[in-house]
Each structure stands twice: as C-alpha cells, then as structure tokens.
Amino acid sequence: MPAIVPTTSASTDAPVTSHRRRSRTAYLLLIPGLGWLGIFFVIPIVTLFFTSLQAPVEGRSGVYQAAFQISNYGEAISEYWPQFVRSFTYSSIATILALIIAYPLAYFIAFKAGRWRALMLVLVVAPFFASFLLRTYAWRTILSDEGFITSSLNALHLLPDDRILNTSIAVILGLTYNFLPFMILPLYASLEKIDPRLIEAANDLYARPFTGFRKVVWPLSLPGVVAGTLLTFIPASGDFINAKLLGSPGDSMVGTAIQVNFLQFRDYPIASALSFILMAIILVVVFIYIRRAGTEDLV
C-alpha cells in the first residue's frame, strides 16, 4: 500500500537495495517508538476486548467488574445492527463516489500537470490546514434548505425529501468530501509510477484512448485504487461527525453509538463491544490485503 503521504524524494537513480547492517542498534532504535505503540495502541485494543466482556457491579451504575459476559456482544449487535449496516452502506457509497471524483484529478496531476504538479499536490493537501469540523459544518451553509443548490434541485423535483441537509444524502456527501484527499493521494502515488511511454506504446499499437486507459493505466493503478479504497472506507465507517453535523438522528452510525455509550451512557462494556467489532471487521479486511500483497509496501 503506497503511503498516503506523497513526499518528493531526492533526485535519484539509486539502486533500491542498499546494504543493510545486522546490528543491535536496530533494536535500540525501535524500542522507544514501538514500545509506545505497544503500550498505547496494542494494549488499549486488548483492554477494549476485556472491557467488552465486563459485567456491571450490583447496585452501582457506571461501575463494572472483570467478567466473561459474552452476551454483551449479542446485546450490542441486536441493538445496534442498523448502525453497522448504515455505517458500511454510507461509507461504501462515499468510497465509490470518492474514487470516481478523485481519479480524474489524480490522473491529471500524474500525467498532465507538468511543472504545476507540486503546486497541485499542495492544493490537494491544503484543506487539511483548515479545521475539518468547520469545513464539515460549512456544508450546512452550502446545502442549506434556502441555499442555491437545494433550491435548484428542488425546482427540478430531484429531491425525495425536499431537502438535502439533515438527510442521509448530506451525510454521504460529507463523508465523500472529508476523505477525498485520502483517495487522491494513493491514486496519484500509483499513477505517477506508470511510465507514460506505456500509453504511447498502446496508442502505437492501435488502442484508442479509452481502451488504452482500460487496458494499461487502470490495471497498473490498481494498487493505488486498493490503497485509496481502504484508506477512505475504513475511517469513513467509524466516523460520526458527518452524521451528527449533517444528518438527522435517524442517520446515526456506529461511531455515534460508540461515542454516546462511552461518554454519555457510560455503558463501557457495550461501547467497547461495538468498538471491538468495528476493529475486528477492519482487521479482517486488512489481513486479506496483506495476504495478497505482503507487508513491505504498507509503510
């Protein structure tokens, strides 16, 4: 999976393998960072699991004890399966939309931008400099009921509810918008590795432009497509901000349920169960990917 951070590498035809030394220094270098991740990433996930099995203490609300209450999972799923379905549905749609929107831009930057390339990449990343909460909130203005977009679409009788805001459409649009750069960058990284002469060769061999794309560029860009898809779908599934700011209460997603259960209801076991299920599903997807592609390209 190409890293999502496009860095301009130093000019080089340097060979890929450099001499790697076998040394204890490596372990010294790894311990602080990996240790930190071990303590504050791995252990919390484990803790999450054990918390999800906890049982309430008699008579004291909000307090739990270690237990093996697997029924928590049953309870979590039976109560919140709509949220799971909704989360994965919304994020799938958002991911596909993002792919369709992102591909032309990534293609343009990789093949046609010339010396504007670096600048355009900066512009893709620039939105990150503005508060993403505010940017999402700004869609309330853009998609507001009296706004230009909603009124025009209404005039064409295209809107089922006569509005966009506070519907699932707004949530999906928000998700697409927020995670678009996560789709653009891996796509670009993959496309820019393609030798443009391959396209020329295809044209030379009687392929029309679209065929050339279908047979040459698209297959070669697949690693980027996969990376972008994963990097968009995964965070989108866990998001609750777009649902809260742009949707109605009926649009609540898994993220909303986790947040509400942890911070409001303080039902830690249920909240942990939900979070863990989400994590497990994601892990399965990731492992399927690693099986096919190995770990060296991940980082």
Partner 1 sequence: MRWLRRNIIGIIAILVLVYLFVPIAVVAVLSFNQPEGKYNTSWNEFSVAAWQNICGVPGVCSSFALSIQIGLIATAVATIFGTMIAFALVRYRFRGRDTTNLLIFLPMATPEVVLGSSLLALFLNLTFPLGFWTVTIAHIMFIISFVVVAVKARLQGMDPRLEEASRDLYASPRATFRHVTFPLVLPGILGAALLGFALSFDDFIITFFNAGTLVTFPVYIWGAAQRGIPVQVYALATLVFFVALVLVVSVQLVNARRRRRLEASVAAQ
Partner 2 sequence: MSTQAAEVARTSGFEVKDLHLINLTKSFGDFVAVDDLTLTIPAGSFFALLGPSGCGKTTTLRMVAGLEDPSSGQILLGDEDLTRLKAYQRPVNTVFQSYALFPHLDVFENVAFGLRRRKIKDVPDQVNAILELVELGPLARRKPAQLSGGQQQRVAVARALINHPGVLLLDEPLGALDLKLRRQMQIELKRIQTEVGTSFVHVTHDQEEAMTMADTVAVMNEGRIEQMGAPVDIYDLPRTRFVATFLGQSNEVTGRIMDSSGDDLVVEARGGRFALPRQRTAVSDGDLLIGVRPEKLSISAAGDALPDRVNQITGIVTDTSFTGVSTQYLVRTGWDDEWMVFEQNRSLGATFRPGDTVVVHWAPEHTFGLDLPRD
Size of the site for partner 2 (CB under 8 A): 3
CB 270 within 8 A of CB 254: no
Minimum CB separation of residue 7 from partner 2 in Å reads 17
Tell me which residue has tokens 């237990």: 67
Minimum CB separation of residue 17 from partner 2 in Å reads 13
* Out of 90, 177, 179, 188, the residue judged to bind partner 1 by CB under 8 A: 177
- Distance between CA atoms of residues 56 and 64, nearest Å: 4
Tell me which residue has tokens 């909000």: 62
Segment contacting partner 1 by CB under 8 A, of 3-11, 72-80, 153-161, 195-203: 3-11
Q: Residue 142, exposed/middle/buried by CB under 10 A (0-12, 13-18, 19+)?
A: middle
Binding characters for partner 2, 11-40, by CB under 8 A (x = yes): x-x---------------------------
Copy the structure tokens of residue 58: 């008699």
Could you tell me which residues come within 8 angstroms of residue 55 by beta carbon, excluding any fewer than 6 positions away?
64, 65, 67, 69, 269
Segment contacting partner 1 by CB under 8 A, of 69-77, 196-204, 215-223, 260-268: 260-268
By CB under 8 A, what part of segment 179-238 binds partner 1? Answer: 180-181, 230-231, 234-235, 237-238
Segment contacting partner 2 by CB under 8 A, of 5-13, 114-122, 179-187, 225-233: 5-13
Minimum CB separation of residue 18 from partner 2 in Å reads 12
Nearest residue (CB) to partner 1, 93 versus 258: 258
Minimum CB separation of residue 257 from partner 1 in Å reads 9
Residue 221 touches which member of partner 2, partner 1, none, C-beta under 5-8 Å by kind: none
Helix (H, G, I), strand (E, B) or coil at 64: strand
Residue 10 binds partner 2 (CB under 8 A): yes
Apex 224 CA angle, 111 and 237, nearest 5: 130
By CB under 8 A, what part of segment 62-91 binds partner 1? Answer: none
Alpha helices in 53-167 (DSSP H): 71-107, 117-125, 132-142, 148-155
Distances (CA, A) of 280 to 49, 259, 272: 10, 18, 12
By CB under 8 A, what part of segment 21-40 binds partner 1? Answer: 21-23, 25-27, 29-30, 32-34, 36-38, 40
Helix (H, G, I), strand (E, B) or coil at 8: coil
Apex 198 CA angle, 196 and 203, nearest 5: 105
Nearest residue (CB) to partner 2, 11 versus 141: 11
Task: Please give the residue ranges that form the binding site for partner 2 (CB under 8 A).
Answer: 10-11, 13
